[in-house]
Structure 1
Amino acid sequence: MHKATFLELCELLFLALKCRNTRMRAALTVEKQVAIALWKLATLDCYRSVGNQFGVGKSTVGTAVNQVANAITDVLLSRVVTLGNVQVILDGFAAMGFPDCGAIDGTHIPILAPDHLANQYVNRKGYFSMVLQTLVDHKGRFTNINMGWPGKVHDARNFKNSRLYEQLQKGTYFPDQKITVGDVEMPVVILGVPAYPLLPWLMKPYTGSLDGSKEQFNYRLSKCRMVVERAFGHLKSR
């Protein structure tokens, strides 16, 4: 991370992280809290090792990581992960071959085995993880995220228990904008993999024996939905 980025992050989180000195000890500066949290999140070092790097105890490292993570969620998440200009997104996907849509998928984020109910975090590939579900725009930028379900949980269950599903079901997430395809009126939809349920506002590929029109449909859907896969690739390569 560049120094300018680090200082900007500290400035944005300053009010949420500023602590007062006590009679027992001086409070950690915002810069030190952020540095500790970033170091822990960016490495596999244990709390004790990180504490040695910064001259603090391992319990202080744990506190700093939690406080910085909560501050980022409370202060910055709604600024960074936002739907943005819906029409630009819809036009972008339309240019790729599928009109009036967004794209959704989930991926597994590896974690260390938790002490409680560890078997619930073992995913189908055999390692411990938590599920990250994201909706992306035509450029692969996250517009909605849902994180925290154990790796064993199926994508459809994760989706149906998300705030995004609730908003889409009520019709409050996207603007009430429809287009006519043939003789069918089509709302804004999201594109998912076969694991997701088929809904009036969620499209997924045809399965089984396919004719030419269904193959063409699947091709266009897959072309647009692959934006999510590339977004996950960029995220995990960092």
Structure 2
Amino acid sequence: MEPAQITLAIRSTLNTTHIIQQYMQHQNLAKRNQASRRLQRGDESDEDMDTDFSQSTGPGSVGIMVLMGQVHAVERRFWAWETGTDWWDHIVLQVWDDSQWLQNFRMCKGTFMELCDLLSPALRHKNTKMRAALTVEKQVAIALWKLAMPDSYRSVGNQFGVGKSTVGASVMQVANAIKDLLISRVVTLGNVQVIVDGFAAMGFPNCSGAIDGTHIPILAPEHQAAEDINHKGYFSIVLHALVDHKGHFTNINMG
């Protein structure tokens, strides 16, 4: 059961309990008033009043059963905005060639499928009663599209037929999966002497790597914002990367 459903069920139970308590208090108060009036008139004996008062729960129980039946008979339904996935299912996956994949996702389809296979242990989710889970391929495609294009979450969501919150979740989940499963396999120091010899053969002696960096724009932090302003005048964090003579990453740092 989803957290929202659990919360709704708890609230419904509390409301029902509160209604029942109020109903019982009203019934008991009415019976006590009735018994008090009878004592004042002297209409019935104590035995009759005890019997009548002990039976006061009868109608109350029936009323409670009817009330609970009415509460639990409410039919609940789930709904979502209607979206379309034809572009992804029938155009991208079936029509696009490698050149189109490379232009839009920065990799060919074969590399994309290999990446999905490597990330599937962390990204495969089960279907729920509310909706089917996103496939691994779609999660990776959403993340790559957002990272490759300067589009908003809403625009990417409309492109793939999902909500903007789903786009944000997919980007974070794919990034975490890459960090947990692939970084240690892709970014390695390698043999330093082989790297030095490789750069020397290219005309760069005594070189063990080529380094470069870039500024990644961010929103202004709430505290100590001045520390995150770069020399170009906007807020950013710095990413630097080191590669060997073959262009393979040997070190990545961001901060």
Which residue number in structure 1 is paired with residue 236 of structure 2? 129
**TM-aligned CA deviation for residue 105 of structure 1:** 4.1
Structure whose alpha-carbon radius of gyration is higher? 2
Tell me if 1:42 matches 2:148: yes
The whole-number CA distance in structure 1 between the counterparts of 2:108 and 2:247 is 23
Name the count of aligned residue pairs.
147
Identity of aligned residues (%): 66
Structure 2 unaligned segments of length 5 or more: list them: 1-106
The whole-number CA distance in structure 2 between the counterparts of 1:114 and 1:17 is 31
**TM-aligned CA deviation for residue 104 of structure 1:** 5.9
The whole-number CA distance in structure 1 between the counterparts of 2:204 and 2:211 is 19
Letter in 1 for 2:172: N
Relative to structure 1, the CA distance from residue 44 to residue 59 in structure 2 (aligned partners, 3 Å threshold; closer, same or farther) is same
CA contact (8 A) 1:106 1:131 kept: no
Q: 1:21 aligns with which of 127, 138, 150?
A: 127
CA contact (8 A) 2:124 2:136 kept: yes
Higher strand proportion, which one? 1
Tell me which of the two structures has the higher relative contact order, counting C-alpha pairs closer than 8 angstroms and 6 or more residues apart. 1
The whole-number CA distance in structure 2 between the counterparts of 1:15 and 1:136 is 28
The whole-number CA distance in structure 1 between the counterparts of 2:232 and 2:124 is 42
Tell me if 1:144 matches 2:251: yes
Letter in 2 for 1:136: V
What's the RMSD between the two structures over aligned residues?
Answer: 2.0
Calculate the TM-score normalised by the size of structure 1: 0.56
Higher helix proportion, which one? 2
The whole-number CA distance in structure 2 between the counterparts of 1:136 and 1:3 is 25
Which residue number in structure 1 is paired with residue 117 of structure 2? 11
The whole-number CA distance in structure 2 between the counterparts of 1:144 and 1:128 is 24
What secondary structure is seen at the aligned counterpart in 2 of 1:102?
Answer: coil
The whole-number CA distance in structure 2 between the counterparts of 1:97 and 1:28 is 48
Q: 1:61 aligns with which of 163, 167, 175?
A: 167
Relative to structure 1, the CA distance from residue 20 to residue 140 in structure 2 (aligned partners, 3 Å threshold; closer, same or farther) is same
Structure 1 unaligned segments of length 5 or more: list them: 150-238
Relative to structure 1, the CA distance from residue 97 to residue 115 in structure 2 (aligned partners, 3 Å threshold; closer, same or farther) is closer
Calculate the TM-score normalised by the size of structure 2: 0.52
Relative to structure 1, the CA distance from residue 27 to residue 87 in structure 2 (aligned partners, 3 Å threshold; closer, same or farther) is same
What secondary structure is seen at the aligned counterpart in 2 of 1:23?
Answer: coil
The whole-number CA distance in structure 2 between the counterparts of 1:106 and 1:6 is 26
**TM-aligned CA deviation for residue 113 of structure 1:** 2.6
Relative to structure 1, the CA distance from residue 14 to residue 97 in structure 2 (aligned partners, 3 Å threshold; closer, same or farther) is closer
CA contact (8 A) 2:218 2:237 kept: no
